[in-house]
A and B are shown apart, each in its own frame.
Chain A
Amino acid sequence: AQSVDQPDAHVTLSEGASLELRCSYSYSAAPYLFWYVQYPGQSLQFLLKYITGDTVVKGTKGFEAEFRKSNSSFNLKKSPAHWSDSAKYFCALEGGGSNAKLTFGKGTKLSVKS
């Protein structure tokens, strides 16, 4: 079984601050990990992924994430945050195999105040 936990339903910070959105996962083997962003009324947009190799991955819109096997985490970071980063962010895990389904966390709603 695979699962993703995003413990923070809401995060609010001021523009210019550093943001870090938490994500932890449970999976018995090496996971593929993703971050997606969803703006209101829109679909999910891919931000970045970790497959293997360098544990810090850089994505679109200035985001990066760090894979930490020791505590099964894949936190999303950006500095500085901008008001346009306000959206809902989803962490997802793909457990490998040919089916390649994504298991999503419940999402973190980020509000960046200008």
Chain B
Amino acid sequence: GPKVLQIPSHQIIDMGQMVTLNCDPVSNHLYFYWYKQILGQQMEFLVNFYNGKVMEKSKLFKDQFSVERPDGSYFTLKIQPTALEDSAVYFCASRGTITEVFFGKGTRLTVV
């Protein structure tokens, strides 16, 4: 079935440094999302992106966060600078029109 690929699967980074999480969404999908999941807890919506723009972001989407998808390539989530509380698994998702949302396997980010 359709797959959303996330690169890397794990990332360890020093607090204060910048990190970019990459997502290759399902081909021809139009809507892209990032969700954050702290270990053992629920998935929480961060942001969605359509037609080159952020459509909606949650209060978890801090000023240090940004997203983009330059020229139809990876859909990225950048955190600059990182903080300890950013440690979590970040899931990318994409969808077409009225279809289910497909999730990637996540990137486990550890800020030390």
Residues of A with Cβ closer than 8 Å to B? 34, 36, 42-46, 49, 51, 90, 98-107
Contact = CB atoms under 8 A, between A and B. Distances in A.
B50 A98 contact: yes
Interface of B: 31, 33, 35, 41-45, 48, 50, 55-56, 91, 95, 98, 100-106
Contact of B48 (A43, A99, A105): A99
28 contacts: A34-B101, A36-B103, A42-B105, A43-B91, A43-B105, A44-B43, A44-B91, A45-B103, A46-B100, A46-B102, A51-B98, A90-B43, A98-B50, A98-B55, A99-B48, A99-B56, A100-B101, A101-B33, A101-B45, A101-B48, A101-B56, A102-B35, A102-B45, A102-B101, A104-B42, A104-B44, A105-B42, A107-B41
Interface-central residue, A42, A46, A90, by most chain B CB under 10 Å? A46
A57 B103 CA distance: 21
Nearest to A88: B40
A95 to B, nearest CB: 11
B91 A49 contact: no
A18 B31 CA distance: 37
A90 B93 CA distance: 15
B19 to A, nearest CB: 20
A31 to B, nearest CB: 14
A46 B103 CA distance: 9
Top 6 A-B residue pairs of the complex, sorted by shortest distance between their CB atoms: A43-B103, A106-B42, A43-B105, A104-B43, A44-B103, A46-B100
A13 B42 CA distance: 22
